[in-house]
Amino acid sequence: MAVLVGLAACLVGPAPAAQAAVPASPAVTYTNPVAEKRADPHIFKHTDGYYYFTATVPEYDRIVLRRATTIQGLSTAQEVTIWTKHTSGVMGAHIWAPEIHFIDGKWYVYFAAGATNDVWAIRMYVLEGTGANPLTATWTEKGQIRTQWESFSLDATTFVVNGVRYLAWAQRDPSVNNNTDLYLAKMDTPWSITGTPVMLSRPTYSWETVGYKVNEGPAVIQRGGKVFMSYSASATDSNYCLGLLSASASADLLNAANWTKSPTPVFTSNAATGQYGPGHNSFTVSEDGKSDVLVYHDRNYRDITGDPLKDPNRRTRVQKLYWKADGTPDFGIPVADGVTPQRFSSYNFADRFIRHWEYRARIEAGVSPLADSQFRVVTGLTGSGTVSLESTNFPGYYLRHKNQEVWLERNDGSAQFKADASFHRRAGLADSAGASYESYNLAGRYIRHYAYLLYVQTPSTATDRADATFYAQ
């Protein structure tokens, strides 16, 4: 103990910062998957307090809706079929990727469909619903959304920027050897566009052209005066991934030059977490409205037998979407099934988060990759009454103390490891809105940062207590 005290005295730590404010976006956790055998998910939070959920069903024959007051509640909510494919002609096959929106007092569902005489004659269609609850509304067909060509088109989504409503979608240019590009146009009604569409993105990068040359499934989120459009690329197997476009909300969105395309994908398969082919996403918000939530589908296995379109096992999943200091979204990685992870910011250094770096635990700002600073709070390895903090990108690895230092190590199953990796979660020692983590087997010692590294020590001063307090985000 005397050696440790001497070591601490020799370390030159940073001067304590001012107290951090309670985070504007506190932690939210969900349990994945939210829905089995539901692909291309869309979750819409309405002003009536309900979340409305729709997705592609593997039979490709109908449009379904669920609603619940919580995102997790959608898992067990009653599912209602609001529309069934036609028995002949158009809208008679391949019913894909429905989205539900509320526009000018009515409900609208956008979807894609083929025809009974040509299942690949995929076009975009719209349903209009009248009634407060779309599960019981009266639905009418508003017909096909007509675009510049009569060609393969799908994945319509709609959004408003500065009072102007836009439609974004994927379509095949008949003159180009691509599958689909992304297009944008203004809307004059909820079921029609006006003016000349502009092409925003064409699959040219290697990660956009695996199996097929695909840009599809656009989804829009806005923040800080910027418009971000995620989209899906490549074949719908384990190569499926998300790309990202961005533009200033004050720019002319119908000028393709005003959009910037990320040269690398922003969300991809992850073997460590067992998630493959994440894509066709949408965005929603948490129950308290303070966190953005990424909604997407994937599979929990890599290899598919036969045509991926005939594999029914894409699942709907959700996880918190984080934001970088530069105002751009950080998608992180598709997290493991089960409870979603959290991040832990320092009480007295608000921009610094607990992370692992070469397996040593520390606090740091601007963490990249994001997953280095994400941990699943699970039942303690010693049992109920304690918690353990499991790494997101190294499943099976936990924060544990060793010689009073905190490290990330693989659970070896020993009683010693379980004890060292278990903590009592206490109200924050410096702020009860935060949390402090007391060692299970070294009572009175808490995880705290010193010189930006994490230790377990006995806090005795106000600075110690501040260093041992963290906010979940």
List active site positions.
Answer: 40, 216
The residues, ordered by sequence, that sit 6+ positions from 341 with a Cβ below 8 Å of its Cβ are: 29, 319, 335, 374, 375, 376, 377, 392
204: Cβ contacts below 8 Å, ≥ 6 apart: none
- Taking residue 367's Cβ as centre, other Cβ atoms within 10 Å add up to 22
List the structure tokens of 261. 């395309």
How long is the chain? 473
The sheet carrying 138-144 orders its strands as 90-103, 106-115, 118-130, 138-144
* Contacts of the segment 49-56: beta carbons below 8 A, 24+ positions apart: 51/284, 52/100, 52/134, 53/77, 53/316, 54/98, 54/99, 54/100, 54/109, 55/98, 55/297, 55/316, 56/95, 56/96, 56/97, 56/98
What CA–CA distances, in Å, run from 30 to 27, 34, 176, 331, 342? Answer: 10, 8, 42, 16, 10
